[in-house]
Amino acid sequence: MTQSVLKGIGSYLPKKILTNNELEATIDTTDVWIRERTGIAQRHIAAQNEYTSDLAVVAAKNALQDANMSIQDIDLIIVATTTPDYTFPSTATIVQKKLGIKHGAAFDIQAVCSGFIYGMSVADSMLKSGAARNVLLIGAETFSRILDWSDRSTCVLFGDGAGAVILSSDDMKESGILNTLIRSNGEHRELLYVDGGASRSENVGKLRMIGNQVFRHAVKDIAAIMEECAEGYGLSIADIDWFVPHQANQRILNGVAKRLNLDKEQVISTVASHANTSAASVPLAMDSAIKDKRIKRGDLIMLEAFGGGFTWGASLLRY
Ligand code: UT7
């Protein structure tokens, strides 16, 4: 049976770092509040002339190098993003041009913070159907551009970055993506949304969130979908080596770990240094744990995310 195997991974964070202490100078917040309530110490911010596609391209090149593959091998580019360069064309086609290919297909996925997991689901289906052979899946965001920098309840939480993986169809048994589940529920739009958009307001808008209510939904839904994802493949949570969660808040990671009885050492966290990079957060966290050699070939990994929509999902992967 054809499997969707992870051949390579790469990431990129913009050079500029914005610390909590720097935020203290511009809004009514403290480093202590941000660390205690979120675990965040700093975030990376894209330069003025650096766009989502630029972050995506660097992450993609790093993933191609890791996979020892050429861009000519890629026949599908998927970019998960909520902060595209333009309303159209898709950021994926801009990335395609910047990488210098004219073949195959490229499109964006919009599922906010769950975009990378949605992308895993779409890439897996297209690889298994034979519609693509080598997919470049990227999560890339410049969330700093849709933040209201005077709103202390949201602007301290997010950062910019990109992560990319190469997924290829292969006959390897028991390897690659084993099961992916994606879910949504449009009832809670007002808890997490952007107050603008091409059709509604003819401008981009800024992010709005009622954080404590999102928090409660996130812990419950993430724990449930991870269990369902493992059981759907005939495994239990106890069989899994590593958990690579969406990096929204350290207290969400701790809450889910407590519910599922996970060892904290198994939960990869980059919240402190990256903050919430939306669709980029899962591949960024996974790349950091692969590069520092915690995650090794053959390990069983559970990825998960939760975000605006609401959207959420989980993906079980043999690396
Ligand atoms: O990726 C998409 C998914 N997003 C999430 O999962 C985010 C989920 N939510 C959260 O991470 C947390 O709810 C927050 C970090 C956003 C907020 O933490 P909280 O413990 O839920 O605090 P809260 O919203 O209940 O606010 C507590 C207090 C409020 O003051 P009062 O009303 O008690 O006087 C806020 O005004 O903290 C205040 N506050 C702040 N104080 C200092 C809110 N933001 C700040 C801030 N600095 N930056």
Task: Say how many CA atoms lie within 13 Å of 247 toward its Cβ.
Answer: 31
Q: What is the pLDDT of residue 301?
A: 98
Q: What is the pLDDT of residue 132?
A: 98
Measured from the Cβ of residue 210, the count of other Cβ atoms closer than 10 Å reads: 12
pTM beyond cutoff 0.95? yes
CB of 133 sitting under 6 A from ligand 1: no
Q: What is the pLDDT of residue 173?
A: 79
Question: Any bridge partners for residue 17, and if so which?
Answer: 44
Atom of ligand 1 nearest to the CA of 23: 48
Q: What is the pLDDT of residue 25?
A: 96
Q: What is the pLDDT of residue 81?
A: 98
CA 309 vs CA 18, 89, 97, 194: distances in Å = 28, 23, 30, 11
Phi/psi for 202 (5° steps) reads 60, 20
At 62, which amino acid appears? N
Q: Is 261 a catalytic residue?
A: no
Give the Å distance between the CA of 35 and the centre of ligand 1.
Answer: 11
Give the Å distance between the CA of 288 and the centre of ligand 1.
Answer: 27
Contact 158, 170 (CB under 8 A): no
Can you read off the two tokens belonging to residue 129? Answer: 């159907």
Mutation test residue for ligand 1: of 27, 35, 153, the one with most atoms within 8 Å of CB: 153
Contact 281, 80 (CB under 8 A): no
Could you tell me where the beta strands, DSSP code E, fall in the chain? 3-12, 16-19, 42-45, 76-80, 105-109, 134-142, 160-170, 176-184, 192-194, 207-209, 242-245, 300-307, 311-318
Q: Is 203 a catalytic residue?
A: no
The residue whose C-alpha atom lies closest to atom 24 belonging to ligand 1 is 212
Q: What is the pLDDT of residue 95?
A: 98
- pLDDT per position as a tens digit, 113-170: 999 999 999 999 999 999 999 999 999 999 999 999 999 999 999 999 999 999 999 9
Task: Say how many CA atoms lie within 13 Å of 97 toward its Cβ.
Answer: 7
CA angle 124, 260, 250 (to 5 degrees): 85
Q: What is the pLDDT of residue 1?
A: 81
CB of 38 sitting under 6 A from ligand 1: yes
Q: Is 113 a catalytic residue?
A: yes
Query: Which H or E run contains 131?
Result: none
Written as tens digits, the pLDDT of the chain (319 aa) is: 899 999 999 999 999 999 999 999 999 999 999 999 999 999 999 999 999 999 999 999 999 999 999 999 999 999 999 999 999 999 999 999 999 999 999 999 999 999 999 999 999 999 999 999 999 999 999 999 999 999 999 999 999 999 999 999 998 778 999 999 999 999 999 999 999 999 999 999 999 999 999 999 999 999 999 999 999 999 999 999 999 999 999 999 999 999 999 999 999 999 999 999 999 999 999 999 999 999 999 999 999 999 999 999 999 999 9
The residue whose C-alpha atom lies closest to atom 3 belonging to ligand 1 is 307
CB of 159 sitting under 6 A from ligand 1: no
223: closest CA among 191, 245, 192? 245
CA 56/CA 54 separation, integer angstroms: 5
CA 178/CA 79 separation, integer angstroms: 22
